[in-house]
Amino acid sequence: MTEQLLKGNVAFAEAAVRNGLRAYFGYPITPQSEALEHLSGRMIEEGRVFLQAESEIAAINMVYGAACTGVRVMTSTSGPGLALMAEGLSYIAGSEVPVVVVNMMRGGPGLGNIQPSQADYNFMTKSAGHGDFHPLVLAPASIQEIIDMVGLAFELAEKYRTLVMIAGDGSIGQMMESAELPPMQPVRDTVPEWAVSGAKGREPNVVTSLYLGAEKLEALNLRLQAKLAEIKRNETRSVEVATEDADLLLVAYGTAGRICVSVLREARRQGLNVGLFRPQTLWPYPEERLSELADQVKGMLVVEMSAGQMLEDVQRVVQGRVPIRFHGRMGGAIPMVDEILVDAESLAKEIGQW
């Protein structure tokens, strides 16, 4: 095992190269610009395509075009850039082409700032563009996890011909941590049978999101919904810490999730039976497991770097079975262990566990 000290942005970029990324199109934006810096060297070294587009709108449409030809392609950005990409994301979803997009969330709304945030949760999971679709959204909490999720993202994108997003934040992007990169894989030399890759000797393939006529477009929508249902059945992921005997459950993802590991340790030292549920897929949300836990614990504390966006999914799943409290910081502020602990203690008192 060869562990290296890697910055999140460099780590996911290099992981993509090693997973056989054929083409990258993007536009720099803090806190993910190191990814472009890294790829601008590495992709050229490997004889692959790196292109810094004139805008995020151009970048996502280049990604769309490349994806139609069946090659492994990705882009990365942060909130304001993702907003510009929304039209393209919807076209990608409607055309059913595999694409991976990394979003290193930063403080918003507006130009906001370059500090870490989780306020693009609703945007990514529920409304990444017009029309009825959801991207599959993965949420890493460490450098190793984002490396592993890059490989998984390509695999899932291609398996389901769907849009996969990795929901990082400024902290995951900027942090350095020891991690291991995957072995180098060459660029795939086969072309998927649906791809637009030159029709010599066969019937032409058509990749489009344009379906004139309600019946045809509804048929596409029915197919998309069936696919999303299948993804929901097969691809929910979550990790748990000390949930076996937990009375109070922390629910948090990504950076907030790992902060809650520290909260959990401190709470346990103080004799509180605290567990942690950390979703790794934000869409599909790991509903089934959270629902089981709702029957076991006596209260939940949701922690996010937002005003409470995932909170609504937790409420939807729990359906009032146990009290749910929320601890959130916004605008680039990061929740602090001792402050979360205060809320955990007060909830513990309320549910008679302390």
* 220 binds another protein per the rule CB under 8 A: no
Residue 1: Cβ within 10 Å count = 3
Could you tell me the smallest distance in angstroms from the CB atom of residue 67 to another protein?
33
* 265 binds another protein per the rule CB under 8 A: yes
Site for another protein in 241-260 (CB under 8 A): 255, 258-260
Residues near 84 by beta carbon (within 8 Å), at least 6 away in sequence? 55, 56, 57, 60
Q: Which is nearer to another protein, 62 or 301 (CB)?
A: 301
Q: Which is nearer to another protein, 217 or 261 (CB)?
A: 261
Choosing from 103, 162, 171, 353, the residue that interacts with another protein (CB under 8 A) is: 171
Choosing from 17, 139, 175, 181, the residue that interacts with another protein (CB under 8 A) is: 175
Residues near 223 by beta carbon (within 8 Å), at least 6 away in sequence? none
Choosing from 177, 180, 345, 350, the residue that interacts with another protein (CB under 8 A) is: 177
Of 102, 78, 122, nearest in space to 309 by CA: 122
In 3-state terms, what secondary structure has residue 320?
Answer: coil
Site for another protein in 6-35 (CB under 8 A): 30
Whole-number Å distance between alpha carbons of 150 and 63: 16
Could you tell me the smallest distance in angstroms from the CB atom of residue 81 to another protein?
16
Whole-number Å distance between alpha carbons of 340 and 136: 29
In contact, 30 and 190? CB cutoff 8 Å:
no
Choosing from 86, 187, 217, 336, the residue that interacts with another protein (CB under 8 A) is: 336
Could you tell me the smallest distance in angstroms from the CB atom of residue 334 to another protein?
5
Count, residues near another protein per rule CB under 8 A: 25
Q: Which is nearer to another protein, 51 or 241 (CB)?
A: 241
Q: Which is nearer to another protein, 32 or 125 (CB)?
A: 32
Whole-number Å distance between alpha carbons of 112 and 331: 7
Query: In angstroms, what CA-CA distances link 280 with 228, 251, 257, 324?
Result: 17, 11, 10, 20
Choosing from 163, 264, 301, 322, the residue that interacts with another protein (CB under 8 A) is: 264
Token pair belonging to 261: 């590991």
* 147 binds another protein per the rule CB under 8 A: no
Site for another protein in 272-291 (CB under 8 A): none
Structural Rg of the chain based on CA atoms? 21
CA 2 to chain centre: 26
In our burial notation (b when 16+ CB lie closer than 10 A, e otherwise), range 183-209 reads eeeeeeeeeeeebbeeeeeeeebebeb
Choosing from 3, 37, 230, 292, the residue that interacts with another protein (CB under 8 A) is: 3
Site for another protein in 65-124 (CB under 8 A): 114-115
* 174 binds another protein per the rule CB under 8 A: yes
Q: Which is nearer to another protein, 258 or 298 (CB)?
A: 258
Query: In angstroms, what CA-CA distances link 259 with 35, 228, 254, 269, 335?
Result: 24, 31, 9, 16, 8
Tell me which H or E stretch contains 251.
strand 248-251
- The secondary structure of 66-130 as a DSSP string is HHHTT--EEEEE-HHHHHHHHHHHHHHHHHT--EEEEEEEBS-STT--SSB--TTHHHHHH-SSS
* 263 binds another protein per the rule CB under 8 A: yes
Choosing from 45, 215, 244, 338, the residue that interacts with another protein (CB under 8 A) is: 338
Choosing from 178, 225, 234, 291, the residue that interacts with another protein (CB under 8 A) is: 178
Choosing from 339, 342, 346, 349, the residue that interacts with another protein (CB under 8 A) is: 339
Choosing from 261, 287, 288, 325, the residue that interacts with another protein (CB under 8 A) is: 261
Q: Which stretch binds another protein (CB under 8 A): 48-56, 158-166, 173-181, 281-289?
A: 173-181
In contact, 114 and 180? CB cutoff 8 Å:
no
- Using CB under 8 A, list all residues that contact another protein: 3, 5, 30, 114-115, 171, 174-178, 255, 258-265, 334, 336-339
